[in-house]
Amino acid sequence: MGQPPVLATGSGGAGVPAIRAVGLCKSFGPIRAVDDISVDLAHGRIYGLLGPNGSGKTTLIRLLVGLAAPTAGSAEVLGVAMPSRDNLRRIGYMTQADGVYPSLTAAENASFFAAAYGIRDASAVAQALDVVELADRRDAITATLSGGQRRRLSLACALVHRPPVLFLDEPTVGVDPLLRIQFWEHFRTLADAGTTIIVSSHVMDEADRCDELLFMRSGRVSARGTGAELRRAAGTDDLELAFIRLSEGPEVEP
Ligand X SMILES: Nc1ncnc2c1ncn2[C@@H]1O[C@H](COP(=O)(O)OP(=O)(O)OP(=O)(O)O)[C@@H](O)[C@H]1O
Helices assigned H by DSSP within the chain: 57-65, 106-116, 122-131, 147-159, 177-192, 204-207, 227-234, 239-248
First to last CA, the chain: 36
Which residues is 46 bridged to in the sheet? 197
Q: What is the nearest approach in angstroms of ligand X to the Cβ of residue 55?
A: 4
Figure out which of the listed residues 4, 23, 54, 249 binds ligand X, where binding follows CB under 6 A. Answer: 54
Candidates 54-62, 69-77, 98-106, 116-124 — which segment interacts with ligand X by CB under 6 A? 54-62
95 is a site residue for Mg ion (CB under 5 A) = no
Query: Can you tell me whether residue 146 is helix, strand or coil?
Result: coil
The string of DSSP codes covering 126-145 is HHHHHHTT-GGGTTSBGGGS
- Determine if 58 is a binding residue for Mg ion (CB under 5 A): yes
- In the complex, the residues that contact other proteins under the rule CB under 8 A are 65, 67-69, 85-86, 88-89, 91, 93, 95, 97-102, 113, 116-118, 157
Comparison of 59 and 105: residue with beta carbon closer to Mg ion: 59
Q: Which of residues 29-48 bind ligand X (CB under 6 A)?
A: 31, 33
Residue 69 lies near ligand X (rule: CB under 6 A): no
Rounded Cα distance, 224 and 253, in Å = 9
Which stretches of the chain bind ligand X, using CB under 6 A? 28, 31, 33, 51, 53-59, 96
